[in-house]
Amino acid sequence: MAAAVMATMNTLSTTARPRPVPDRILRRVLRIPDRAPGAGSVAAAQSAFSRSMIVSGTRCLLTYVVLPFVAPAVGVATGIGPILGLLVGAAALATNVISMRRFWMAEHRWRWVYTVVALSVMVLVGVLMAHDLRELLT
């Protein structure tokens, strides 16, 4: 009898509960296969988060400090700013998407909060990239 109860409890505890609709939609958008919770590593998600924020921060540092002030002071051509901004911006967007995927694959408890932060950073980087593209085209 006790073995049957334990077997039933194990079955109930390992049965995956259905995901909420917003979770399913975002997993589909991020192209994350639906599998058992905990399939990704929380450490990998946090490492990807750090990497994406470093790339986005580097882009801002280049855009607002190095290219406008330091590059002209040392005689580097100022016309490379928009090109470099677009390249680093594309890398920032890619690392943000990668880190969002890692958070979602790991079923990280802060995945929705991080998603809002990452999307906010991506919008800001997108605006900066649009500005760089406009500078190149004019």
Q: Is 8 inside a domain boundary?
A: no
Q: How many domains does the chain have?
A: 1
Res 76 pLDDT > 90: no
Q: Mean pLDDT across the chain, nearest whole number?
A: 79
Q: What percent of the chain has pLDDT over 90?
A: 25
Domain housing 59: 39-137
> Is the Cα torsion angle 33, 34, 39, 42 positive or negative in sign?
positive
| Section 98-105 average pLDDT | 88
Q: Is 33 inside a domain boundary?
A: no
Q: Which two tokens stand for residue 26?
A: 């975002």
| Section 72-89 average pLDDT | 76
pTM exceeds 0.75, yes or no: no
| CA atoms in the 13 A half-sphere facing the CB of 45 | 20
| Section 91-118 average pLDDT | 90
- Greater confidence (23 vs 33) lies with 23
Q: Is 58 inside a domain boundary?
A: yes
d(CA 57, CA 51): 10
| Section 126-130 average pLDDT | 93
Res 122 pLDDT > 90: yes
Q: Is 112 inside a domain boundary?
A: yes
d(CA 130, CA 138): 12
Contact 98, 48 (CB under 8 A): yes
d(CA 75, CA 64): 17
User: Residue 32: phi, psi to the nearest 5?
Assistant: -105, 125
Q: Is 14 inside a domain boundary?
A: no
| CA atoms in the 13 A half-sphere facing the CB of 71 | 15
- Greater confidence (80 vs 133) lies with 133
Q: What is the DSSP string of 54-67?
A: HHHHHHHHIIIIII
Q: Is 10 inside a domain boundary?
A: no
Confidence at residue 7, expressed as pLDDT on a 0 to 100 scale: 47
Q: Is 49 inside a domain boundary?
A: yes
